[in-house]
Structure 1
Amino acid sequence: MRPTGERVRETLFNWLMPKIAGARVLDLFAGSGALGLEAVSRGAASAVLVERDPGLAAQLRQQVARLDAGAQVQVVQADAMAWLRQPGQGDFDVAFVDPPFAAGLWDAVLESLPARLAGSAWLYLESPQDAHPRPPADWHPHREGTTREVHYALYRRAAGTLRDDLNPTADA
């Protein structure tokens, strides 16, 4: 497990500050759950944390109980790729994607994930410094940064799909 560093997390939430309130959040490959739990602490309406490791998922459930956040946070113990392929929850406003670097899952995730996201969703990707996964063409870079170890980027789905069709004044 390699949790997102504190400085990177602070930068990310500064970027998302006006967008996170009331958002439905997906923390795929949740690990410590730092991103999903921080989103809820900053006003997200709900978060789904998907973690494959049974021990980590149990720790996440305990942490959610300690925070009394069970009404807002759902911990799913499942393989992220298998979870993405199953019918179910969708329409997430924000997705955090930080898979194990050695697994090389970005292409597969970026192919399956968009079906679970809202039309105007925000997508955070974290990858090794030398790998810059790119989402599909209808996603536009918003901000990005690097540290000695990681490259991180925030993308926005292009306007004009799903929910944005109903709300042409949605902010870009």
Structure 2
Amino acid sequence: MTRIISGRAGSVRLDVPASGTRPTSDRVRESIFSALEAADLVSGARVLDLYAGSGALGLEAISRGAASVDLVEKAPQAATIIAANAARVRKAVGAAAEIRVHRRAVDAYLATARGAWDLVFIDPPYDLSATDLATCLDRVGGLLADGGRVVVERAARSEPPHWPHSLAPLREKRYGDTTVWHAAVGDSEDQPRPRSQS
């Protein structure tokens, strides 16, 4: 069973599509968020979750204090499940958090998207080609705020992402048959993200 791990919506159950998605395991999700929170990259962040599946990554960010999340998923069944999961998380965290579900293909969404996001999760299907992932990363690199971070999750057997010049790889970690890469805008290092002024 998939649940929100921590934060205001901790233990809230998340439904998962019956097929076509690979929910991020609790172990991997906790490791990802431990690294992000250590760098002060979650609280108040504007988050984009691409190939969202069940929405677990983006909704975990909301539970842990992110300001907003855009969840992008083209599969009709998965998008419906994300909307239901989002409703549960929204009820737990209150009206302050903005949660938007977009039933669109990632490339179509990014073609018209207007940033800037502080944190982007990319967990594409295993069959997404390295070329298509590189195109996605190139577009995402232009939509990140200063100090923004990208987290890519892929099968361990996949080749490493081809990073555009706008993104600098920071870390790579393998968890069984899954590998997670972090990259940041330019040559950013693990430093707290500048806060937006209101």
State the TM-score, normalized to the length of structure 1.
0.86
Give, as a single letter, the amino acid of the residue that structure 2 aligns with 1:141: P
Give, as a single letter, the amino acid of the residue that structure 1 aligns with 2:56: A
Tell me the equivalent position of 1:77.
Answer: 103
| Stretch moving more, 112-121 or 22-31 | 112-121
Query: In structure 2, which of residues 19, 35, 56 is the aligned counterpart of residue 34 of structure 1?
Result: 56
Structure 1 regions of 5+ residues with no counterpart?
A: 161-168
User: Percent of aligned positions with the same letter in both sequences?
Assistant: 36
> Are 1:121 and 2:121 counterparts?
no
Give, as a single letter, the amino acid of the residue that structure 2 aligns with 1:157: V
Secondary structure of 1:100's match? coil
Secondary structure of 2:140's match? helix
Secondary structure of 1:102's match? coil
Structure (1/2) with the larger helix percentage: 1
Secondary structure of 2:169's match? strand
Q: Distance in 2 between matches of 1:118 and 1:49?
A: 18
Secondary structure of 1:27's match? strand
Q: Distance in 1 between matches of 2:120 and 2:56?
A: 13
Tell me the equivalent position of 1:16.
Answer: 36
For residue 170 of structure 1, report the CA deviation from its aligned partner: 4.5
Instruction: Report the number of matched residues.
Output: 162
Give, as a single letter, the amino acid of the residue that structure 1 aligns with 2:178: V
Root-mean-square deviation (CA, aligned residues, Å) is 2.0
Tell me the equivalent position of 2:71.
Answer: 49
| Runs ≥4 residues deviating over 6 A | none
Q: Distance in 1 between matches of 2:172 and 2:30?
A: 13
Q: Distance in 2 between matches of 1:56 and 1:142?
A: 31
Give, as a single letter, the amino acid of the residue that structure 2 aligns with 1:74: R
Q: Distance in 2 between matches of 1:170 and 1:52?
A: 32
Q: Quick check: 2:54–2:85 contact (8 Å CA) kept in 1?
A: no
For residue 23 of structure 1, report the CA deviation from its aligned partner: 0.3
Tell me the equivalent position of 2:26.
Answer: 6
Q: Quick check: 1:119–1:159 contact (8 Å CA) kept in 2?
A: no
